[in-house]
Amino acid sequence: MAIPIIGPIISLVNNGLTGFLDIRKEKTKGKLAVAKKYAEGDVAWELEQVRGMQHSWKDEWFTIVLSIPLVGVFFPQLVPYFAEGFLALESLPEWYQRAIQIAIFASFGVKLSSSAKKVWKQL
C-alpha cells in the first residue's frame, strides 16, 4: 500500500525541484545579461576615451615631465634639487598625490586590477 503514495510524493518533489532550478536559471540569465551590458558599456567608454586621446598632448606632457628627473640625476649638481623636490611632493596632501597618480594612470591607459586597487589604496 505504501508504493502508490511514493509515486505522487516523488512527482511533487520532482516538480518542486524543477521549478526551483528553472527560477535559478532565469536569475542567472538575468545576471549574465546585466554583466554583458556593463561589459559592453565599459568597452564603448574605453573606445571613446582612445578616440578622444588621439589629438591630445597629455601623454607626451606626462612623459616629458616624468623624464626630467630621470635625466637630471645624471647631472650631480642637480641631484640635491631633485631630492628636495621629491621630499616636497611627499609632503603634499595624500588626496593630491592620488589625483596625480590617477591622472598619469589614465593618461597612459593603465587599468588597475581589483587586487592592485586594494594595494594602491593601502599606500
pLDDT digits (tens, 9 = 90+) for 33-80: 766 666 666 666 666 666 666 666 777 888 888 889 999 999 999 999
When divided into structural domains, the chain yields a total of: 2
Residues 121 and 100 occupy one common structural domain: yes
Q: What is the pTM of this model?
A: 0.46
Residues 17 and 67 occupy one common structural domain: no
Give, for 67, the enclosing helix (H) or strand (E). Answer: helix 58-72
Residues 34 and 62 occupy one common structural domain: no
Residue 30 has pLDDT above 90, yes or no: no
- Cα separation, 117 vs 111, in Å, equals 9
Residues 123 and 108 occupy one common structural domain: yes
Residues 6+ apart with CB under 8 A from 107: 58, 59, 62
- pLDDT for the residue numbered 83: 93
pLDDT bin (cut points 50, 70, 90) of residue 103 is confident
Residue 99 has pLDDT above 70, yes or no: yes
